[in-house]
Every structure is written in structure tokens, then in C-alpha cells.
Structure 1
Amino acid sequence: MKVFSIIPVAGLILSAGSANGFIPTDAKTLMGLHGTSHMDQTRISLRQLWEMWYGDIPGWVPSNKNLLAMEEIAEANALVDDDQENGELHFDGESFQAGQERLIKLSDQAVSLANSGDYVAARKSIGMALHTLQDFYAHSSWVESLNQKKAGDRIYPGLGYPNTMIYPLGPKSKTCTNCRAQLAISCGDCDANLNTVDLTSGYYSGEPAFQKKSSAKCSHGGPLDFSTTYDLGPIDSLLYFGQGINKDSSTCLWSPHRRLHYQAAEIAVMATKDWINARVYKRLPQLKADLLFGKEYEKGSISDPSDPTVFDFRISTLQPHKRELVARAETLDHEMHTVVMADNVHEQGKALLRARVGGHRKLYPVQIMRRNSNGDKEKSGEYGWREIAIATGGHLITFPENETAEANALLDILSWPNHAEILSVAGTGSEASPDSEFIFPIDSSLKSLVISTSGASSVQLFNPNGSPYSSPSLDDTHIRRVGNTIALNFSSTAIPAPGSYRISLKATTHYTLSISGESDLHIVSFYIVEAGGRPQHRAYFPIPSYPIVGEKPMVKAHIHGNFTDARFEFRTKEGGLIASQDKIRREVDSEQTATMFYGNSSAIPEGDFMAYFTGINDNGHEFQRVVPLMISSSKLQLTAPIVQRMTAGERKTINIGIMNLNSVPDTYDVFAVDSKDSIVEVTESSVYLEPGASRSFDIHFLPKTNSTIGMTEIVFGAKGRTTKGNMSLQRFVLEPEFKPLSYSRIKYHQYANETGSLIDRLIMGKKR
């Protein structure tokens, strides 16, 4: 059994909150102590599917692209628990018809998005569907019905398939009796509260479309579900809880049918694999399926400027109802890198691009490619192209028109798959002080090494003993110089021996330096997170905005690979140490795909900084890894609800909160920009705030009915006229106009009151 404890670590406290649900995230399960989370069910299913699709993998070592695809799906799954008002998302309240339609729609949506190349949005659709699918087994009585019939573990036939509809019991059907009341310390006895073999699910308070209409209906259960009470006085009733049938966790605190939790989780994994394989994977061309689930990746290339593959920034300006179509930036957003062919894009368009590439939380740099045929130079600006490249650990690469072929060769080097970032710095040299030096380790897990720098006139590598590094294998074929950028590609035969190396470069202006290598030891994910979801299902989700200066927020990270000692560090973009967070305990997940770290960070510093992970690998060599995405802190707080869905042709309004945490008053210019031209109005153009004061403004949306479905992003921000501002990204799926499910597609009509005979037919070997 895994044991989890609170570990004090020089500013980093690794701890977990209270247990809950088919718990959304790993952290909330106390590392598995109270059950199998939604995220773990998803990871287990995908790992087993990869082996089925691509063959058994002895000593399985997942690649970056495998794990990134898996984590994007798992995170989207957990995020559904932030919506606790719509019962069909969780199959609560006998919402079988609405839940079934949701699964069908999301599978169609995932296939459509993957076919269009929007793999991030497709994974979001898959994750959202899987949460609903898995909740069916935790919240309905299917598992109990199987056990009553002694039918073994079976998935519900047709769940999530378009040819089947599931109709609930009538409102007067009696499904549950009260549990035997006991003091809260013993949770009550609900083992015999279900009095039917028919299919039902528990009602949860706060879901208006599926309210409990009869005390004879089952409740979800748990101390924060107020859909039922004992027939006791108002004081005594607080001493008891336990009414309901949910199997979300293995603890009686939250789950009256806790004894069936692991059985429900096992069947949910079976159903997850079946649905992904049949409803998504098999419906896609092989390459699209491989790209979606992380077996392959797309490499970018620099094409003709007239190429129609572009990303249009349609900006809603500060004046309501006025819009302008600004210049275009060509983006090649593939699995490993985002490459931008940058023209003169509006400043707010650059804000959207910066939030977009950083908001996906890819652990790969963004390379900004600019043709420089007229000798033009990068203009300064807070959201300029150089700032975007630096913020993601990439380079601003300028090159003349006649070096396009060389630029493609350079991109091939920089876009190599499975590279872990070792060092990512940016600085400014001068004529008086052109020299900069950095120390970095090369460890035994590295299979290749790439050193690239932009803005430097020369670069030199030194051995651990101080002598210049040289290698006969490092010939001209391993060196690329394009415009202002130099890249050195050390193959497996030329990679230096493990040790601590020094790199020196000369630059008289802005420069960037990146060192990376292919390695099994890499950072899978790193998030600053905040709590979300209803109290019983609270989990930690990535913050969409900047962290607040001085706060100690929760952080969550996954590291793949073997090591014996490690710590996190905060460093400036120039490489200076801000805070060191010492030894931390490793917790391996159930499938041993990664080591998870979880807890409070040290105080967020003012300004921009980066997260490093350093330690000793299992061969005794010092290693270093960096999250290339720069973290920007703020003293201005922006808040908004997490938006998951928006339907073309339907109006939606979101309210944005803004609070001044600076010690001085300021006027903040606010803006909003979205990627699909959906904004109708921003109700404020500027907001004046005293220190500690807060206000809000609304953003009104009306997506066009002919909008291309897929991931849409809104960036809203506020920039102080005397203080630094903040920027936040909300990302959600834009759906087509709502259309009821075509009943001509339905072949099988399954009714909840026929569940017993359905199980009998399954036992006899007939599907229906």
C-alpha cells in the first residue's frame, strides 16, 4: 500500500488535500490511497491501448509525445468536474438520454477536429467525453445490477455509440430506501439501500435540469450532497451522512457504495478503451490517429508566404462593436514545435499568439521565423516577436530570402523529437561587455545534444577540465548557421562524456541560448494550479493567468525517468538563482509512467522566471532540466469562470474580475481578443483601481453560425499605465449549432426498466 505524508522541503511542502470522487486528479486521491482517479483511469487505458495498437513494448519507455498526448486528454477529463450544474456531464439524476447524446456528439467532434489537424482540441473533446463515460459506472447502478445478476464485469452495451439510446425510469419509480443511520464516524450503512435491478443513477443537489422529484429516488451521496436528509431534527441530521449510491472513491466519507469503487473503476477502464478504440481511433486515417495519440509528430517547414496555411488574428478592439482584420501570421502548430512565420501583426494579435502557444503548456520552444529580405530589424514592444520567442524558450530567427532552404535545415535540427531542455537563457550583451558564460551538466541519459543560439556572433564549448572541446565527428554537416542563428547538432557518436561543461558566447545585442538533448529523463508537465470544482469533487487545475507575486501557490509536476536525488529551482531568464527547493519525495503513478511532485511552491518572485529541475540520475551523474515556458508574475489579479463549451449562433457572456494588488492606484487599459472573431463587445475600455480595490467587466460573445468548429481561445488582459499588467487565456471548444441527435441513426432503444433482461441476454452471449 502506498503511504503519503507531508514532506517539508525548504519552501516546498508536498501534501495532498482531502479525498474525493472518481476523483478527478491524482493528487486528490492521496496518491491512490482513496481510489483510482479519472486521470489514472485515462492513463491506464491509453497505455494499454498503445500496446494493443502498436505492439507490446518490453520495458515500456514512453516518449515525450506519448506522454503529452496522454496528459492533455487526462487534464481535459479532470477539468469537467469544474462544471457541477449540468448533471448530464456526470450521468447524475438519471440523465441517461442527455449523457448518451453528449458522448456521441463529443466522439464525432473529436474525429472531425483530428481530421482537420486540430489535435489539441480533439484531445480535449476526448477527455471531456471520458469523464462522462467513466462517471456512468461510478454514479449509476449498473455495477450493482451486474452483481445482483452475478454477471461479472461487463461494460454497458451501446454506451457512447450513435445507434443506441438509453431511456430512464419514470419519475415515480422507486429506486432507493434510506440507509441505516449511524453516527458520522461510521458513515452509515448503505449496502442495501438500492431496491431495484433497473438502471438508475443518484441525484445531486445543485443540478437544476435533473432535480430529485421524489424521496424514493437515489441520491448521489456524501456530506455535501443536499438532495436528501434523514428524518431527524436539524441538529441531529448534521451528525449523519451517507445517503446515496456513488462509487467515486474507496472512502465512506464521500462514497456510500465505496466497497464497489475498484470494481467500478475496472469496468470504467474497459469502457474507456472500447470507446476510444471504436469511436475515435478506428474512424481516423492511420496517420491522423497516430498524430492524435502521440505515436508520430509533424515537422514544420518554411513555405512560400502565399501559402494558405495561416492563422488569422481577428481582433476585437477596445471600442465595442468595431473590428479590424489585421495582418496574418503563418503558424505551423505541430506536435513538437510551433513555428511562426511572422509579419506585422497587431500588438493584441501578438498577445493572443503568446498566450496561445504558452497556454497549450507544451514543453517545447516556439521558434519565431522572420524573413529579413529588406534588412528590417525587430521593433521593440511588450508583446513583440522576440518577447514571444523568449517566453517559450525559443529563438527569434531572422534570415534573408535566399536562405529559406538553410532555414528549413535549421528547423529540422531544432524540431528534433523527444528533446528535453537542459538550459534556456536570454540576455543582452554590449560592445563593452560582449562575453557571457554558462555552466551546464551533460548526463548519461542523453542520446544526443543540440546547442543553438540566436544573436551571438560566436559560441565555444569547454570541457570540465577547462580545455576547449573538440571532436572529429562535429563536422560541417552538424553545424547550421542561418541569419542570426547558429545550431550545433551532436549526434550519439559525437556527444560529450558526462560532466559539467562551460559554454561561452559573444553578443553585442539581445541573444538567446538553448541546450537540449534526447533523453528518457525529461519533464512531462509542470503546472501552477488552483482549486476548482464543487466541494465534494474539488481538484487542482492549471491557472489560466499569471501567478500573484508573494503567494505560495500549488504546483504539480510529472517527471519521467530514473533519478536518486532531485530538487526544483526558480531562476531568472538570465540564469540567476532565485529560490532553491530542496529534496522532494518521489511518488510513482500506478502505471510507472512518471514521478509526480505536488505541493506549495516557494513565494512567487516579482518579474519573469523559469522552473528548473536538477539532481543526480540513477548512474550517479548530475542532470539538469528546465521548463522552457517562462513564468510571468503579476500584482494584478484577473479572474474568470472556466469556460468549456460555446455553441455557434448562441450568445454567451463571461464576467472578468480585476483586482489591483499593487501598493499604488492605477488606471488599467483592458482588452480582449479571440481567435475566431466571436467577441461582440467588451463593456469597459479602462478601469481605475485604488490599491486592493476590485471591479469587473463583461465580454459578450456571438460565434458565427458558419464558424469553423474547434478550439477557440480568448485572451483578456489589463495593462496598467504606471504598473505592470496581467493577461489570461481561456480555451474552450467551439461547437456547431445545437442540433438534436438524429433518431434515424438509432437502432437499439434500451430502457432502464429492462436492465435485468439486458444483463440476462449478455450472460447468454447475446449483445442485445
Structure 2
Amino acid sequence: MPASQTVVFVVVLIFSLSGLVHSFQPLFTLDGNSTTHRVITQRAVLRKTAEVCRDIATAAGRDFSLTIDNSLTASKVLRACSSMGSSTSLLSSINFQTSITNMYFSNAKVDVIFVLSDAHHFDDESFERGRDIITSGVSAVKKSVALENYVTGRWTLGCVFHTLQDFYSHSNWVELGETIPYSSLIKPDERLENLAGRSTPTCRNCTGENCADNLLPELMQQGLLTSGYFNPFSSDKPAGKCSHGGTLDRTSRREPVGGINKDTIGSSHGSLHPKAADLAVDATMELLEDIRQAVGDKNFTRLMGLSQSTALCIVIDTTGSMSDDIAEVKRISFDIIDRRRGTQEEPSAYILVPFNDPGFGPLILTTDADVFKANINKLSASGGGDIPELCLSGLQLALTAAPHSSEIFVFTDAPAKDAHLRGTVTALIENSKSVVTFLLTDVLARRRRRDLQGVSTRVVSQLDAQLYRDLARASGGQAIEVSKSDLSQATSIIEDSSASAVVTVFQVVRNPGKPENFTFTVDSSLRNMTVYITGASSLAFTLISSTGVSQSSSQSSGPLASFTTAGNLRRLRLNTENQTGSWEIMVDSNNPYSVKVTGQSSVNFIFNLVEAHEGAHGDFSLMEQRPQSGGNTSVLISVTGSDTVKVTEVKLVDSSGSTEVNGSLQALGSGNFLVTFSKVPAGDFVVRLRGEDSSATSRSTPESFQRQTSTQIKTSSISVTTESNNTNVEPGSSISIPFTVATTTNGVVNDSASGTFTVRANNDRSFTSTSPSTVSITEGSGGKANGTVTLTIPGDAASGTDVTLTIVAENAAATDTNYALIRLSVAAKVTDVNRPVCQEVSTSGICPSSAALCATSQWEFIANLTDGINGTGVDSITIRKGNGTLNTSSATGAGGENVTVVNYSASCCSQNVELNAVDREGNVGTCVGQARATAITAAPVTTAASVTPAAVSTTSSRGHTLSTSHCLLICVVVSLLWK
């Protein structure tokens, strides 16, 4: 078989085996009692994040009363971690829950992408290779955090979680009586010990269906570590070895028959499933603690997505005619930054992408408001001339860098030169659920001026503007067309959207327009409600409250709202006090228009399309393309902001309003619901949720609420599937990604179909790639066409750089498209796996035995830290525990290695110190010192870490500079603890 056909065969085979789940259940469980990867991941992330917040609060002298256990929710943790600390504060846990959801979806994806990889599941006694996957993945996460690429960091982290968690289900660690995690799995510089040899028998036959005692007694007595063999195609395995077990594992039918997995309560060793799941939670927390120590508490909470506000994301045209726009972007951005800095509404990140022609970027992504300000100040309007600009290229960068569900604002007065990216941008919008609003200034006016010169026509300008309108509509944003003089009135939408806890209550687009009445529900949790109406100047509307009071568009200020007009945008600020219930808005227009109702509320929801997989475990994974026309679909709903919410209805509502499909709800606990739909509306649709909240009112009956997604979902009769067998790629390497395009009928591949499809493969880093421009489904091909995208990573690409590859397929009539997305992270091969080494030099000072006198005395701890001759070097040293002053200086050791000399001094009221030393690869070492209550007589000694006086270069991190003579004072080692 030719190599190309072999690749295609393997890809098709893997797709057909997507139900071969042989691990903790990825997302859901049929028995209702087993613990899934989803639950393990969520518990670990919530508990570790709460621990970090507790430590931060303790260090700041604040109370932290949250009980840290398995009952935590994202809302509880966010409120406890909030510096505001008020139970009445308006907080949104949507970002936090979205981040957790992304991590457990990437966790579940391992069972699809790496279904046949023994190392990714610790099958077949592949302990060394499994550990390599974990440690290389953790290194990649740390590099992503260093570049503030938190989205990619979370995706990589979820994959690492899966492999680590599977160890406790697939090995005999639990059976050996171990009650704490196997820490060596996350420490590449430690040996994996007591591994059963490849020729060492490990199991005996199960007795019928009872496998509780199938591990050999001598294996258990020697404390040897093993894991089960798994193969769905062959029964071959080394003689005497354990099998994974289960109906899909053919090795379990060969002696010794049976298995040892603890994936569910009903597994071969299912009685130990709860212990395995608990250990998997503890191990995941241990891994998160390692990352925390490497990146610091602030960056760790950002990685976890612990944020109450959205990112402030600006994409802006910088050609000559945009000087007024740039000035307005500066004004509104600086105003938001200055008023919200230090508050719960401070943006979680700042993103800026300039574009013009022939260039776009660079992308500025930062959590530092001053860095963002400095880069905006650098913007200037220049150049231009040929009108079209690279708007969609800039937007593509923003969509891949911004957190999911971000609000992105695009400023331009020109058409897009790169309209061929429409499919890619639409795919990224749908995948990230980000809302894109275009602020189009003087577009038609400027085109009209050029019309007189015969350069362009107004018809072309309308078509150009329509591209922006269509993209805005797909995202749930708006295309605001305004004069430059009125731009400042329109930018109020940026301030509205960047506030905390903004939710969409109702949204609809009518194109073509028609007079219509719309209703929406106002609940008591909603504050600062705003209605945005875009449309022609002739549009009229009437607003009617739940009490029957009405106000027409002829009243700019009335009993229900005050509104302003800027271009085609009408912004209504509602007065909803004591007017909960059903409201109505009547729109009278035959031209296209949109209506969007928003407010601020803690109660919100996130949704993700999921697809079912066949097989013994029959589970789901994240759907990362459009759902199939005429088929069915399932949605995972997570409600945030209230622990007393009851979801009563979830509907798919098509954009025309003519079709609504009700879903069947299954409660999963902790505000999660699996909703299944027997069909999906044709074309575009949104998800609308209704429910009841018993905590929202003091009335005897629960209060109704309504929320809606902004992003529109579009169905397709094209299927695009692709898999990459690697998520990390090295600089200077190339990666080939096979993909398959198929035509479907009623959600099923039409094996008799034929046709040619246009293919566009784009990546957000502009890395060199090759791919076919078309693929053809021919007779006898089973209704599928195959192709390959080859992506080349530059040799100078920094570790931690993220790459999003989008493959879009379009039918010959250009009426239907679908897409696939691949996320990759650039990760150079790790050569430094050793942690920095600590050697105590001296501990001095006398601390009184009476605690009442502790403030009258000081003690001092001096140590040398080195990363060795071949190490990447100590990058940072921080106080992990202790309340003293830390100074550092650099020196050269006797062997030529770089030495960091630390001097820590503290009051005797704080008699312990723990220092974290992190090298440039992210390896974490710990140095511990302790004061003594009695004096120690100093006696100089020589140690391997002695420094050369002439080579000392002194710096200071806090407090006074450490002198050379002080560094060379070597005393008897009082205490040294190395971890």
C-alpha cells in the first residue's frame, strides 16, 4: 500500500474507533456513580485555585472562609477569591467556568486523538513514555504562560491531565496500597522505580467475572508496578501479563484472562474506582501546584481563567484616513483603564492588533494596562491609497489570541482586501464564540467621494460593508455605521460590553426586515439593561414594560428608557426597577435590522456542541465543526452564578424565527445539563435557555429568567475531519496533518456522492504551509476525499508560541462551507530536566524562646542556588513561605557554574522560610531554612558551592544589597531541606 494511502487508512481507522474509550469516562457516565475525567479535572482545578486564593488572602491578612472540598463550584470559588469580598457584589464566573470546560474538553479529546497510543493511557507498562508525555506537556504549559498564551496553555494542560489521571486507573498503584500520588510522574529528574520487567509475570486468570484477586501475590509482595495491556485488534501480549480488560480489549481473552482497570464502578477492578478517582484528583492538584510554583500565583490564576471581566480587544485600521478613529480608540481605552484599574471590572487582558496594507500586526497581548497604553500611543495613521486593507488578517489574529467568548471591536473605514479569509474568520468566530462588532466610519461617504473620480462605485461599497455585517451577525455583534464626528457616541458600546457580568437576554436579526413584535423576560438579578437596535433611519419602535407602560421611538427620554442615536445605532438604557416579567419591543421596518438586549447579572450559561461516539463506553467529545444539516445534535450547558438554578427549557431557534426545536434535558449536577435534540434548524440558529431561580426573589414561587447565546450556529452538509498525532511541535520542524472532506445527507456521509471542494488552509502565525487548493470526491471513494496540510515551524519560533490552523472546505457553488481547527504549541526539546540545587551557607541569629519577645530579635539565612554547568540558569527566586526580606546576588562557583546567593532575614516572629527557585525551563527547586532558639558558633568550612570572590557581581531584589564579604561567610549548616 502506498504511503499516502496508508496515512488515509490510519486516519479513517482512528475515526471509526472514536468510541474505543479505555480510561476514566471522558465526560459522562451511564451508571451515574462513576467519576469521569470531567469531574476529576473540575474538582482538582477548583480545589487548587481555592487553595491559591486562600494563601493570597492569608498573606494579605484577609479572611478566607470557603471550605475546600469536592462540593466547590466555579461561582463559589470566584466569590471567595474576589478581593471585593461582598456577598452582594455582581460577579460573573463565566470566564472561569469556560476555562475549566476547555480543559476537560481537551482532556476528553485525548481519547479521540490518541485512542491507540499506549503511552497516553499508561497501557502496556509504558511508564517511561507516559511520564515523558506528562513532563514535556507541563514544560509546554509553562512556556505558554511565559508568553501569556493562556488559551493554548489550558488546552495543553487538559491533555496532560488525561494521561496523568489514567495512571491511577490503569496501573496497580492503588492495589499496592498507595494513598498519595506517585510524584515521580511529574518530576523528570527522578527515576521510576520498582517497575515490573517485560518478562516478569504480573497476573493470573480471573475467577469467572471476579478479577479482584488476579494480581500475582509475588508482584504485590515485591511492590512492583505494572499496568494492563490493551489492544482492540489482537490478543497478543507478553506471557503472564495483566490486561486492561473490558469488551473491547482482545488481550483480556488470552491467559491470564480478565483485566485490572478501574475506569468505572463496573470495571474489572471497579471496587477500587473511587480510590483511583480520588488519587487522580490529588495527582492533578500536585501537578497544578508544580505549575503554580513555576509561574507564580498571579499567572496561575490567569491560566485557570479566574477572572470576572472580559478582555479589552481592539483591531484597528492605521491607514491615513484613520487619525480620528485612532484618537477615539485612545480616549475610550484609556478611560476604561483608568476608571477600572484595581476594580473587579478591570479587563482580564488587553489585546491590540493594528492592520493596514500591506501589513497587519504585530499582535499585542498583555495583562499590563500600561504596556497596552504605550502601544496604543505608538499608533499613527499613515499610508493607504488603494482603499482595501487587511482587516480580516488582523481579526484572525485577535480571534485566536483572545479568550473564548471575548468582545472584539474592529475599527475601519475601508473594505477588506483579504475577503478570502471570510471562511476562516467565520470558523474562528463560531469556535471561540467571540462577539465581533465593527465600527465603520464614513465608509459609504468616502466611497461616494471616490465615485466622483470614477475610482469606485457605491454598489461595491455596499457589498464590502455587507461582509462586515455578515461577520458581525454570525458572532452576535453589530456593524455600526457612523460618521467620524459621531464615533464617540458609538464607542459607548465598548464601555458597556467591557463591564463585568454582561449577559445576553435576547437577540434577533431580521434580513430582510419586516415589522415584528419580540418579547423578552426581565428577572430581578439583571442590572443596567441596555437595548441596541441597528437599522435604517426610518426604523421605528415601541417598548412595552411588564406593567403595560409603553414608550415610542419618538421619545428620546421617557418612562421606560432614555436613548441616543449614532449613525445606524440606537442605544436604549432601560429603567427596569420593580418591573420584572415579560417585556415587549415592537419594531416597524422593512429594511434589515437587529435587536439585542443585554444586562449585568451573575446568572449566565455557556454551551458547547458535543458529538456522541459509539462503543462500549458510548461517550461524547467536543464538536469543533458545524453540525450536520438534517441530523441531530447534543449540547452541554453549564449554568453559572447561582447554585439554585433550575433549567426548564433549552431551544434551538433559527434566525428567521420560524423554527424552534425543544431539547431533552438531563441534569448532570453542579449546574451542568446534557441537552439532546432530535433535529436542528436549517441554516443559522442560536441557543435560548429559560429557567427558574429560587434564590432570585423572596416570593414563594421561583422567578423565571431567560438567557441567549450571541454566536449563531450554522449547519452544513459538508464534513471536515482531521486529526494530528501531536499537539506540540519543535522549532524548525514540519508537521503533516491529513484531513477528510465528505458530503452528508441527514447527518450521515453520503457514500455515493461526488464533487469538487475548494480548500483553504490558514494559520494565524503566517507560518509556511502547503495544502491542495481543491479535493474531489470521486465515484467509488465512499463519499470522501482526502488531503494533507503540511505546516513548517520556523527555527526561531519561541517555545510557548501557539498556532491555530484552520482548514475550510467549500462546495463548488460556494453556498456551503465547513471547517476543522487544529491547535498546536511550539515546544523546543527540553534538555534541562534538573531542578535548581540549594546549598545552605549559614543560619545566624538568636531567637528567644518566648513568643512575646520575638519582635525584638532577627535571624538570617544564607544559601547558594545553582542550576549546574549545563542548566538553563536560575530565572527567579521567590519567598514561598515566610515574612522577611530577600536579597540576591550572583557569583561564579568553583566549577564555573553560575551561583545565585540568597540572603534572607526576618523577625523571630517568622522563624521558617521556604524559597522557590525556578530555572529558565520551569523546573522548580525548594530551599528551606529555620531559625534556632540558641546561638550557634560560626566555624568556616569549604563547600562545593564556594564562590570565587573576584567573580562576584552583586544585585538586589529586595532590601539592602548583599556584600561580597557577607556572601563568603560560611557557617555550620543549621538546617537544610531539599525538595
Give the TM-score normalised by the residue count of structure 1: 0.79
Aligned equivalent of 1:607: 683
The alignment status of 1:52 with 2:51, answered yes or no, reads yes
Comparing 619-628 with 397-406, which one deviates more in the overlay? 397-406
TM-aligned CA distance change 1:569 to 1:124, over 3 Å:
same
The answer as to 2:408 corresponding to 1:339 is: yes
The amino acid of 1:499's aligned partner reads: G
Counterpart residue number, 1:636: 718
Which of the numbers 812, 822, 825 marks the counterpart of 1:734? 825
Q: How far does the alpha carbon of each residue in 1:470-506 deviate from its partner, in whole angstroms, 9 at most, with x for none?
A: 999999998564443233345xx85462111111345
- Give the corresponding residue for 1:268: 280
Extract unaligned runs of 5+ from structure 1.
1-16, 148-152, 232-240, 316-324, 749-765
Shift of 1:732: 1.8
Select the structure of larger CA radius of gyration: 2
1:717–1:725 contact (8 Å) kept in structure 2: no
Alignment partner of 2:121 out of 90, 115, 121: 90
- Change in CA separation of 1:641 and 1:418 when aligned onto 2, cut-off 3 Å: same
Shift of residue 193, structure 1, vs aligned partner: 4.2
Matched AA of 1:726: T
Match of 2:823, SS? strand
SS in 1 for 2:246: coil
Partner of 1:656: 740
Per the alignment, residue 245 of structure 1 pairs with 260
How has the CA–CA distance of structure 1 residues 97 and 177 changed in structure 2, closer, same or farther, with 3 Å as cutoff?
closer
Match of 2:925 in 1: none
Q: Amino acid of the residue matched to residue 127 of structure 1?
A: G
- Cα distance in structure 1, aligned partners of 2:472 and 2:216: 59
2:809: which partner in 1? 718
Which residue is equivalent to 1:74? 104
CA shift, 1:397, in A, is 2.7
For each residue in 1:382-406, what CA deviation from the matched residue of structure 2 results, as whole angstroms up to 9, or x when unmatched?
Answer: 9922222211211123344455554
Q: Secondary structure at the match of 2:807?
A: strand
Q: Does 1:217 align with 2:241?
A: yes
Alpha-carbon distance between aligned partners in 1 of 2:426 and 2:604, rounded to the nearest angstrom: 24
| 8 Å CA contact retained: 2:150, 2:302 | no
**2:428 is matched with which residue?**
356
Q: Contact (CA 8 Å) 1:314, 1:674: kept in 2 or not?
A: no
CA 1:454–1:105 in 2, change beyond 3 Å: closer, same or farther? farther
Aligned ranges 1:671-690 → 2 under 5 Å: 671-678=760-767, 680-685=769-774, 687=776
Partner Cα separation in structure 2 for residue 38 and residue 311 of structure 1: 40
1:177: Cα distance to partner? 2.2
Does the C-alpha gap of structure 1 residues 144 and 514 become closer, same or farther in structure 2, counting only changes over 3 Å?
Answer: same
Residues 1:157 and 2:183 are matched in the alignment: yes
1:13 alignment counterpart: none
Aligned to 1:390: 473
**SS of the counterpart of 1:224?**
coil
Compared CA separation, residues 72 and 181, structure 1 to 2 (3 A): same
Q: How far apart in 2 are the matches of 1:96 and 1:480?
A: 65
Aligned twin of 2:143:
112
1:138 Cα offset (Å): 1.3
- Per-residue deviation at 1:566? 1.2
- What displacement does 1:266 show? 0.8
Gaps of 5+ in 2: 1-17, 54-63, 77-92, 319-325, 327-350, 359-388, 448-457, 695-700, 839-976
1:121-200 alignment runs, 5 A limit: 121-146=152-177, 153-166=179-192, 169=195, 171-182=197-208, 186=209, 188-193=211-216, 195-196=219-220, 197-200=223-226
Distance 1:215 1:679 in 2: 48
Q: CA deviation at 1:339?
A: 0.8
* Cα deviation, residue 456, structure 1: 5.3
Distance 2:441 2:303 in 1: 29
Q: Give the Cα separation in 1 of the matches to 2:486 and 2:727.
A: 44
Q: Which amino acid aligns with 1:218?
A: C
User: Residue 155 of structure 1: CA displacement?
Assistant: 1.4
Q: State the distance in 2 between where 1:545 and 1:650 align.
A: 25
Aligned mates of 1:702, 1:19 — CA distance in 2: 29
Partner of 2:84: none
Q: Distance in 2 between matches of 1:516 and 1:510?
A: 20
- Cα distance in 1 for partners of 2:776, 2:225 equals 53
Looking at structure 1, the residues matched to 357 and 253 of structure 2 have their Cα atoms a distance apart, in angstroms, of: 52
SS of match in other structure, 1:164 = coil
Which residue in the other structure is 1:3 paired with?
A: none
Taking a change above 3 Å as real, the CA distance of residues 109 and 481 of structure 1, as seen in their structure-2 partners, is: farther
Compute the displacement of 1:675 (Å). 2.2
Q: Deviations along 1:671-709, whole A, 9 cap, x unmatched?
A: 322323456332352536689962313123132233454
Deviation at 1:162, TM superposition (A): 4.4
Counterpart code for 2:118: G
Change (3 A) 1:310 1:303: closer
Q: Is the 8 A contact 1:427 1:511 kept in 2?
A: yes
* Separation of aligned partners in 2, 1:740 and 1:301: 34
Partner secondary structure for residue 102 of structure 1: helix
Asked whether the 8 Å contact 2:809–2:819 carries over to 1, the reply is no
Residue of structure 1 in register with 2:345 after alignment: none
Task: Using structure 2 for the length normalisation, give the TM-score.
Answer: 0.63
**More displaced 10-residue stretch of structure 1: 97-106 or 275-284:** 275-284
Instruction: Select between 71-80 and 612-621 the one with higher mean Cα deviation.
Output: 612-621
Kept in 1, the 8 Å contact 2:720–2:739? The answer is: no
Alignment of 1:580-595 (within 5 A): 580-581=662-663, 584-589=664-669, 592=670, 594-595=671-672
Tell me which moved more, 279-288 or 261-270. Answer: 279-288
Query: Partners of 2:26 and 2:94 in 1: how far apart?
Result: 20
Task: Return the offset for 1:108.
Answer: 2.4
- Higher mean displacement: 464-473 or 409-418: 464-473
Aligned runs of 1:490-639 on 2, under 5 Å?
Answer: 490=574, 494-495=576-577, 497-507=579-589, 509-531=591-613, 535=615, 539-560=619-640, 561=642, 562-564=644-646, 566-581=648-663, 584-589=664-669, 592=670, 594-599=671-676, 601-618=677-694, 619-639=701-721
Displacement of 1:39 in angstroms is 0.5
Whole-angstrom CA distance in 1 between matches of 2:465 and 2:251: 51
Offset, 1:428 = 3.1
1:624 and 1:476 mapped to 2: Cα distance?
Answer: 20
What SS does the corresponding residue of 1:353 show, helix, strand or coil? helix
Deviation at 1:124, TM superposition (A): 0.4
Asked if residue 310 in structure 1 is aligned to residue 365 in structure 2, the reply is no
Displacement, 1:276?
1.1
Query: Structure 2 vs 1, CA of residues 718 and 677 (structure 1 numbering), >3 Å: closer, same or farther?
Result: same
Aligned-residue offset at 1:445: 3.4
CA shift at 1:269, angstroms? Answer: 0.8
2: CA distance between counterparts of 1:85 and 1:693? 24
Change (3 A) 1:516 1:654: same
The aligned residue for residue 39 of structure 2 is 40
Residue type at the aligned position of 2:109: L
Alignment match, 1:259: 271
Residue aligning to 1:412? 495
The DSSP-based 3-state class of the residue aligned with 2:550 is coil
- Counterpart residue identity of residue 161, structure 1: K
Q: How far 1:23 sits from its partner (Å)? A: 2.7
User: Residue type of the partner of 1:713?
Assistant: T
Q: CA deviation at 1:281?
A: 6.5
